[in-house]
Amino acid sequence: MNRDELQQVLEYAREHHESFLPGYLELLRFPSISTDPAHQADLAACGDWILAEMARIGLQNVRKIETEGHPVLYADWLAAGPEAPTAIIYAHYDVQPIDPLELWDSPPFEPTIRDGRLVARGVMDNKCGIWGNLKVLESFLQTLGRLPLNIKICFEGEEECGSPNMAPFVAAHKGLLQADVLVNSDGEIDFEQPIQSYAMRGIVSAEITVRCAQEDLHSGLYGGVVQNPNHVIGAIIASFHDADGHIQIEGFYDNVLAIDAEERQRLREAYRLQGAAFEAASGTENFWAESLAPRQERATVWPTLDVNGVKGGYLGQGVKTVIPAEASCKVTMRLVPDQDPEQIAQLLEKHVQQFASDTADVQVRIAAKAWPFTIDPANAAMAAVQQALHTTIGKSAIFTRSGGSIPILGMFQRELGIPMTGLPYGAGGKIHAPNEYLILADFSTTIQLAIRFYCELAKLRPTDF
C-alpha cells in the first residue's frame, strides 16, 4: 500500500468521526453484562448486532461460534494472500456490572456526551475495541476495497466473568484461530505517556459461602448460642492478609519468580513516567502495604488477593436483629509467573476450609482460573505499534507490566504459541466503575493510530514474526 492510499484511509476515518458515532451509541445501549444470567438475551442481541455490522462493512465468513457460555463472534478477510501476514484481533463485547448504580451521573446504558466525553458502561472496557477495529477495517474497505493484510476477528462475550468457556473454545478451533500475530484491543491508552504492556497477571476467582443455621434466626434469642455466619466470613476475610499486606495462604508465594535488577529498573522507570497519573486516578493519597515492595511492583509483579464483595444478613436501612443463615464473599487473586492457577485455587480452598467446623459449613466455589503470561517486548508487532505511535503522536511507548488479566491471551499463548501485541482504543477512564468514559477526540486519534499500525504490520512477512 502506498503513501497516498494510506492518506486516503486516514482521511476517510477523520471525515467520518462524527458519522461513526450513532452506530457506537447503538452498540453501547446493549446491557451486555456477562456475569449476570438475567442479561443472557442482551448478550445475544449485542452479538447479533455486531455480526450484522461485520457483514455490512465487508468482512467474510462472519459467524457466531457457540460455546457453553456466550458465543464468540468470528469474521475474517484473507484476500491479502499468503505473502501478507495474518493478524487475529481480540476484543470483548461483554461489560462489567453497573452497580453502584446510584453513583452514575447518567444511566449506564444510555450513552451521554458531556464535555467531549462519552459516558457509558463498556465505552472503554471494551466496546471501543470492537467499534474501533470495525471502523478501521471499514475505512480500508470503503476507501480501497481491500485490507493491507489478512485479518481474523475473535470477539469474546465472557471476558468480564473470567472466560470460563474459552479454554475449550481455543483448543477446539486451533486451525481457525491460527495467525502470525495476535492483536489485543482490550486495554487503555494514555496519550500523555503511552505504555506497551509485556505481561499480564493470571487470575483465580472464587465465591466463599458460610452457612450455620438453616434459616435466619432472631439474634436476641439465639445470639451467643448459634454461630453467626457473618462472624465466620469476617474471620475468613481477616485471615487473608497480615498487617503488612502479606497474603497468609500457606504456599501462596512458593512459585513466584523473583524479578531481576533489569526488570526492577524497567518498572521503576515506567512508574516514574506513569505513576503520577496512576496515583491521581486512585482517588486516594494513602497507599497500602507499602512495606512489601514499591508500588509499581505491587501493582504488576506481585500477586494479590482482593475481596471484591461481601454480604450477609440485613443490608437495608436501619436495624434488623437477625442471625442470617448464610454469608458469602467473592475473592479474586491476581497471579504472577510462575503461579499455577489450579494449584493456587487448591491452596485457597484448603486455607478457607480451616474455618469450617461443626457450627459452620464452608463452601468454596472456584469461578475462573487463568494463567499469567509475558511476551517478548522486542517482537515485530510491538515494534509496529511503536512506529505507528511515533508517526501519529510523535511519542514512543514505555514498556511495563500490566496488573490486569485477560484470560484468553494466556490461552492463546499456551495453545497457539503466537506472538502478540496490544492495540488499545481505550483513551478515557473509570473502567469497572461508575461514569466510565471515553474521550471522543482521543478515540479519533486511536483510529488513526490503528490504521497506521495495520499498515506497519502489512510491511512484514509471515516469517518476520
User: Cell numbers at residue 125, please?
Assistant: 472496557
Smallest gap from Cβ 403 to a second copy, in A, equals 5
**Burial of residue 187, with CB atoms counted within 10 A of its CB: 0-12 exposed, 13-18 middle, 19 or more buried:** buried
Shorter beta-carbon distance to a second copy: residue 53 or 297 = 297
C-alpha–C-alpha distance, residues 177 and 462, integer Å: 15
User: Cell numbers at residue 35, please?
Assistant: 456475569
What's the length of the chain? 465
Phi and psi angles of residue 232, each rounded to the nearest 5 degrees, phi first:
-70, -45
Smallest gap from Cβ 326 to a second copy, in A, equals 9
C-alpha–C-alpha distance, residues 329 and 443, integer Å: 37
Cβ-based neighbour number of residue 56 at 10 Å: 12
Smallest gap from Cβ 231 to a second copy, in A, equals 6
Shorter beta-carbon distance to a second copy: residue 32 or 150 = 32
Smallest gap from Cβ 245 to a second copy, in A, equals 7
Question: Whose CA is closest to 435, among 177, 215, 110?
Answer: 110
Using CA atoms of 450, 455, 456, 461 in order, give the dihedral in degrees to the nearest 10. 130
Shorter beta-carbon distance to a second copy: residue 74 or 240 = 240
The answer to whether 120 touches 112, Cβ cutoff 8 Å, is yes
Shorter beta-carbon distance to a second copy: residue 329 or 384 = 329
Half-sphere exposure (Cβ direction) of 281: Cα atoms closer than 13 Å = 13
Smallest gap from Cβ 16 to a second copy, in A, equals 32
Shorter beta-carbon distance to a second copy: residue 217 or 384 = 217
The answer to whether 153 touches 89, Cβ cutoff 8 Å, is yes
Shorter beta-carbon distance to a second copy: residue 322 or 380 = 322
Smallest gap from Cβ 278 to a second copy, in A, equals 8
Smallest gap from Cβ 243 to a second copy, in A, equals 9
Shorter beta-carbon distance to a second copy: residue 23 or 275 = 275
